[in-house]
């Protein structure tokens, strides 16, 4: 499998306290697509951010546009990813299949938002394997109630913040294809394009995950993948890379 150097400056995933920032804006899938395609034109994050705020984003308020760009930067670039990560995301943004970017955004949004990541791991994944597929807003509230034991910061959040956050969590998971339905949402395993699985393999390698531990890593469960699915993906990617090396 391809060797990818670990980048010390990169903050691979959010740690520490929970943040209610997801309550202000949810998935921002189309805004992320615009951000990435605009970045591709200049290769400069600051320039792409300015262009998005000044001319491209459709929201009326400049303050709203700036807030959206700030959130996108947190999810996609503020963690200082290696250049190949952004190159992959740009490719996904230009893919004819819109779900390619959506599944990659689910991965990156969750890795940079510990609350969302934990909700998937502690609520969505167990329900999927127990055959309980319905998910409602009170499930997020119940998760937050339990989280207060370890995350005292949740105690300081207002009722309104918690309600908005509950809506946003479910909206993100629906827009990124982990949930299905509008008013009534239920869990559904998404189809993950192989190039996005390949992307996660490279992320985990760069993060320092040993090859022998790759199939058990919880990141795969963000897509509801089991260990057998992961091993098949790893084998396919390894075969593709060997073939590419032989023909290079």
Domain ranges of the chain: 1-131+189-248, 132-187
DSSP reduced 3-state for 25:
coil
Calpha distance 168→181 (Å, rounded): 14
Mean of the per-residue pLDDT values of the chain: 92
Specify which residues 135 forms β-bridges with. 185
Is it the case that residue 6 has pLDDT exceeding 80? no
Extract the tokens encoding 52. Answer: 């998005």
Task: Name the strand (E) or helix (H) holding 185.
Answer: strand 185-187
For residue 98, the tally of other CB atoms under 10 A from its CB is 14
- CA distances to 18, 53, 85, 127 from 112, rounded to whole Å, are 11, 22, 14, 23
pLDDT tens digits along 164-210: 999 999 999 999 999 999 889 999 999 999 999 999 999 999 999 99
Calpha distance 59→99 (Å, rounded): 24
Task: Name the strand (E) or helix (H) holding 31.
Answer: helix 29-42
Is it the case that residue 240 has pLDDT exceeding 80? no
State the pTM of this model. 0.93
Specify which residues 185 forms β-bridges with. 135
Q: Please say whether the beta carbons of 45 and 105 come within 8 A.
A: no
Question: What pLDDT is recorded for position 243?
Answer: 61
Burial class (CB in 10 A: 0-12, 13-18, 19+), 167: middle
Calpha distance 162→144 (Å, rounded): 8
DSSP 53-121: IIII---S-HHHHHHHHHHHHHHHTTT---HHHHHHHHHHHT-SSHHHHHHHHHHHHHHT-HHHHHHII
pLDDT tens digits along 199-237: 999 999 999 999 899 999 999 999 999 999 999 999 998
Backbone phi, then psi, for 134, in 5-degree steps? -75, 135
Q: Please say whether the beta carbons of 133 and 188 come within 8 A.
A: yes
Question: What pLDDT is recorded for position 127?
Answer: 97
């Amino acid at each position: 499998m391809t060797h990818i150097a670990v980048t010390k400056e990169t903050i691979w995933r959010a740690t520490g306290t929970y943040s209610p920032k997801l309550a202000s804006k949810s998935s921002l899938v189309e805004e992320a697509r615009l951000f990435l395609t605009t970045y591709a034109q200049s290769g400069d994050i600051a320039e792409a951010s300015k262009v998005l705020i000044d001319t491209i984003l459709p929201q009326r308020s400049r303050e709203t546009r700036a807030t959206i760009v700030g959130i996108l930067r947190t999810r996609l670039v503020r963690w200082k990813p290696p250049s190949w990560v952004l190159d992959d995301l740009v490719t996904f943004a230009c893919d004819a299949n819109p779900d390619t970017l959506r599944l990659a955004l689910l991965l990156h949004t969750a890795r940079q938002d510990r609350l969302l990541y934990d909700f998937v791991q502690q609520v969505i994944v167990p329900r999927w394997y127990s055959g309980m597929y319905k998910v409602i807003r009170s499930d997020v509230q119940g998760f937050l109630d339990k989280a207060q034991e370890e995350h005292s910061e949740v105690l300081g959040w207002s009722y309104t913040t918690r309600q908005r956050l509950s809506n946003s969590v479910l909206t993100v998971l629906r827009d990124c294809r982990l949930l299905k339905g509008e008013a009534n949402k239920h869990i559904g395993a998404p189809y993950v394009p192989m190039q996005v699985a390949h992307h996660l393999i490279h992320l985990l390698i760069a993060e320092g995950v040993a090859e022998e531990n790759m199939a058990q890593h919880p990141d795969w469960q963000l897509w509801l993948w089991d260990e057998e699915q992961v091993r098949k993906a790893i084998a396919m990617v390894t075969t593709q890379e060997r073939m590419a090396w032989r023909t290079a």
